[in-house]
Structure 1
Amino acid sequence: MPLDTAPNALGFARAPARTRVVVAMSGGVDSSVVAAQLAEEGFDVVGVTLQLYDHGAALAKKGACCAGRDIHDARRVAEAMGFPHYVLDYENMFREAVIDEFAESYLGGATPVPCIRCNERVKFQDLLGTAKDLEADCMATGHYIRRLDGPAGPELHMAADEARDQSYFLFSTTKEQLAYLRFPLGHLKSKAETRALAQRYGLGVADKPDSQDICFVPDGDYAKLIEKIRPGAAQPGEIVHADGRVLGTHEGVIHYTIGQRRGLGIGGLSEPLYVVRLDVDSRQVVVGSRDMLAVRRIPVKEVNWLGDGAFTDEAEYHLRVRVRSTKAPVDAIVRPTGPREAEVELALAEEGVSPGQACVFYAGEGTRVFGGGWIHRG
């Protein structure tokens, strides 16, 4: 078969040198390996790193992605492998699309997942548009997830390494975006393989620690950040038992999350209590017994459907769902209640289901991701 008609490693029927790929480079080992591997294979690689926020506070915190050191590391990889590298200032966009919503969600009593919004609104929307402006044939990232060709087009699948799988954070990837994206690390069986590749390419980031916490909250203190960007927004209130008893006071609902047990500030009680509800309007933190956390029916909105057919309220889907990034998928029935809304009925009740988290849909068997939606109060 002639060279220009045989699919290359990125799926294009042309030589690698005639295939331009923009690689989203965070400065970490994963995206650095992707860029180095594609460059070594002869692809026309363009590295792009996003400056997402004011680096000042993050520089002292190891593991904060997209900080000044990370930009430097990404540039060094590009120089070593001989491909161009650009840094784009997305700070204002990131604040508006991710940080502001993060703050508003917490103030509204939700528990947001900003990494999903970053992928959805910044990396896979604006950066993807920039990649097209650069006349790239596709964009590659270091995410641990797989893009496989199915009978109806590209499908999203869990990573081969379940411990590294990032499908929860990528459920909102649309079919159109999926057609343009590539995930070269999704087939690897362990992070050790990625680091071995980094050593093979001689990358200085081979032993760099993985990112920790949310990148724009380098010390992990979410409440402190929210108070900084929304001064005075957090109001004190009461800690109330589900039976109506007032047990204490708090300095703002932003200091609490659904399912929280420790640090409630209401000692001296004989029974263990958990946060079961956050009532923003009355400024109450409602606590109760653990069994009150059990939920079987979950309303979701902003559904992104990655199934082969339309998402229709004339059907119900027997799938598995994941309601937190750290939980395994469980059996459920997804019943559409509108074009982008649904009710999810869990086979067995789950604890700690919180508004603001994602509910991600998976095949009943196998690794395919069917999309998902955002949990809300209904």
Structure 2
Amino acid sequence: MKVLAAMSGGVDSAVAAARAVDAGHEVVGVHLALSRMPGTLRTGSRGCCTIEDSRDAWRACEKLGIPYYTWDFSERFKEDVVDDFVAEYAAGRTPNPCMRCNERIKFAALLEKALALGFDAVCTGHYAQVVRTDDGSLELHRAADWAKDQSYVLGVLTAEQLERCLFPLAETPSKDLVRAEAAERGLSVAAKPDSHDICFIPDGDTRGWLNERIDMTEGTILDTEGNELGTHAGAQAFTVGQRKGLNIGRPAPDGRPRFVLEVRPKDNTVVVGSKEMLAVDRIVGIRPSWAGAALAEEATGEWFDCHLQVRAHGDTVPARARVGLPSADSTADGTADSTQAPDGGTWVIELDEPLTGVAPGQTAVLYRGTRVLGQSTIDTAVNMARVA
């Protein structure tokens, strides 16, 4: 099989490519240049797609004896990931750029180009498993090493894309074994730190970065009763669950910390309240997609049991979900659901246990056991008792 190995310059993608070679595939390595002005060097574990990363990817390919290329995807990355990130924050939502990168760059633009060039599959260093069932369909599952599991950020993959994906690290029990294998193979990236945070904001100052790209204006900070508590420099710089940086100046009547409960960009206000008020038990997600075959309940509209995860390394909580209700329908608790989206419907998710700090724009990924069912973008997240 002719395989295109996506080489980030890190240890995971290098070992994944090596294993693809060992499996007898015809492997070609490619590094994606996602920035027109990459930094010369990384800062510890911050940042990626730097000149240093491209050189590490080249050295790994040279060691493995496979061809190496660099593809310029910087314009596509800017439009589909960076500009989307800015637009989502400007609308008062909290996006996950890694989800967008996987959806639109690594498993859309890259895979599309790979297939056009005659490759059969794309290989990456993600920790996740593709499982073929008895009926021949494919499912996405968690990796053997749950501590490194990356199935959450791959929840956007479709059945067609899973057919063309190779994840050679799927059954590796720990990252330490991957590093040990890299050292044994003589790969120079064996001890290279993992990258984290947002790759295009390597210093980690998201608010400062956004201030340069969104027109921020001073607005008010309100409590849940509508009382003005203070001012802020721009509502778009806040996210639900945030505690630091409120600068209210006086404590709450009970002396307890306040957290951001809601961001309202239309009137440029931020609503704050107690930590308990962050708890949500009902989520409506838009733009849903199934990671593999859809459940039978998609056609019937019935509720199905699942577990919900809203952060890349967050815990899951038991829940039940159903495909979007017509706007005139109602949920089990009798509340009308007027959030039916015309572009693909919605997922209505009711949690058995409340979650805190859930923000519009985050991604809701549904699981059943180790299987990833699919994902949707959170449009609303509420506590039904509080609403009532």
Alignment of 1:206-285 (within 5 A): 206-230=190-214, 233-269=215-251, 270-285=255-270
Task: Write the distance in 2 (CA, Å) between the matches of 1:80 and 1:312.
Answer: 51
Q: 1:292 aligns with which of 252, 272, 277?
A: 277
Distance in 2 between the 1:115 and 1:133 partners? 24
What's the CA shift for 1:313? 5.1
* Residue 365 of structure 2 corresponds to residue 360 of structure 1: yes
In structure 1, what is the equivalent of residue 339 of structure 2?
Answer: none
Ranges in structure 2 where 5+ consecutive residues have no aligned partner: 326-343, 382-388
Report what 2:350 is aligned to: 345
Describe how 1:190-205 pairs up with structure 2 within 5 A: 190-205=174-189
Contact kept in structure 2, 1:28 and 1:65, CA below 8 Å: no
Aligned letter for 2:310?
V
CA distance in 2, matches of 1:340, 1:66: 35
Aligned partner of 1:317 in structure 2 is: 304
How far has the Cα of 1:308 moved from its partner?
A: 4.5
**1:116-131 paired onto structure 2 within 5 Å:** 116-131=99-114
Whole-Å separation in 1 of the counterparts to 2:54 and 2:42:
15
How many residues of Structure 1 are paired with residues of Structure 2 in the alignment? 356
- How far apart, in 1, do the equivalents of 2:150 and 2:360 lie? 20
Partner of 1:29: 11
Aligned AA for 1:372?
A: Q
Distance in 1 of aligned mates of 2:17 and 2:283: 40
Structure 1: unaligned runs, 5 residues or longer: 1-18
Aligned residue identity for 2:192: K
Counterpart of 1:69 in structure 2 is 52
Q: How large is the RMSD of aligned CA atoms in angstroms?
A: 1.6
TM-score by length of 1: 0.90
Contact conserved, 2:42 with 2:48, CA < 8 A, in 1?
A: no
C-alpha deviations, 1:297-319, integer Å up to 9, x for none?
10001111234445235221111
| TM-score under structure 2 length normalisation | 0.88
Q: Name 1:156's counterpart in structure 2.
A: 140
SS at match of 2:380: coil
- Residues 218-269 of structure 1 deviation map (CA, whole Å, 9 limit, x = unaligned): 0111122223334xx1221111111122111111123311011122111330
What is the SS of the residue equivalent to 1:312? helix
CA distance in 2, matches of 1:118, 1:276: 28
- Contact 1:313 1:335 (8 Å CA) reproduced: no
Residue equivalent to 1:113:
96
Aligned position for 2:385 = none
- TM-superposed CA distance for 1:60, in Å, is 4.7
Q: State the match for 2:75 in structure 1.
A: 92
Identical counterparts, % of pairs: 42
Partner of 1:50: 32
Residue 192 of structure 1: how far off its partner (Å): 0.3
Q: Which residue of 1 aligns with 2:375?
A: 372
